[in-house]
Structure 1
């Protein structure tokens, strides 16, 4: 069992820095988890979480940080379906793509509705909007509902609030590590016990922050690095 941060993310606009408009290109922190299957054969698994950089960049980071090519990844897991958490997913076409079933269903309905409205529009449709919608639908269709356990010591951990079905990965070992996604984006949000500003359900988002802090020794933050849980420091 091993994990490492492949790319540290960034918020397009950080509410704790009083930023209301995008100041930079946002992208999720990308994490690699290496484990084995939970069945008898113990097949090696390499799970890439939230490939937020564009394809060429995430492939380069993967080689730099883990000496792996995209063909080595067996699974891609999305903590949510936000575009900047999956920008580079196309580079991993040999892998299984996974997302929580709740997030998949929550995203699928508005996507289908958007396509329906486009098809019923008698005027010439906006080509950019149509292209984005069709790309999103194709990605979502490729994403399978994730099982509760992806591999040995790697379990889904629901963190709803920022999005309806946001889900982290709980990595069990000598210490418990939670890959949080945007449930806790930065060390500053963690220190203040704050969820990000734009939430589907703010109350649920705050509860998810509490649950994350309660369970994990280490936290891989959605737009930051891996940090020690401040409530569990030895001194």
Structure 2
């Protein structure tokens, strides 16, 4: 399906003189580049988006789990009665490789339990159907999908719906898409905070650095009950019952 050019919002910025073509050419604050509540609502509810992809987007927005963490969720990690999922936080480690190249390695770390809204929990129940174990997000052949595939899908549907925004801000003319899986995660945390939710609790939900986590866990505990309660009260997806 071809997307009309008018469906893409091109955001141009004045480019300072740079010699490094990979360098960002904007001083626009990150918050100004993020997704707003309406854009998140649309990408999480639009009827044109299939259940599997929409569920992936909803979990990221509601829980602040990283896209990679959501991708690796298994049915065994889901408590369907309590509407809870448990993800293992992954941290990225770069190790030397032959030559000058470096190889990325993902390592397991502290598990985090996240609350799902009622509608998202029911959507997950529908997607999983009678499967008892294995990765939640698989293709028709039963193979685990890739993060690259979901990144392409969110861009595809954002274009169809007409909410994709592109900001040109690399010196070599490359563009940055603003409706992305990671942008959903950042937006969910920001929208919870802006509605009056505890910034400390959303930091726990997002699983930020160990230093930040340890400081917050000291006050809120590791059972995440306060996190879940704060999200019920302040996160748009829960408050508005998407």
* TM-score normalized with structure 1 length: 0.26
Instruction: Give the structure with the higher percent strand.
Output: 1
Instruction: Give the structure with the higher percent helix.
Output: 2
Q: Which has the higher contact order (CA 8 A, sep 6+)?
A: 2
* TM-score normalized with structure 2 length: 0.26
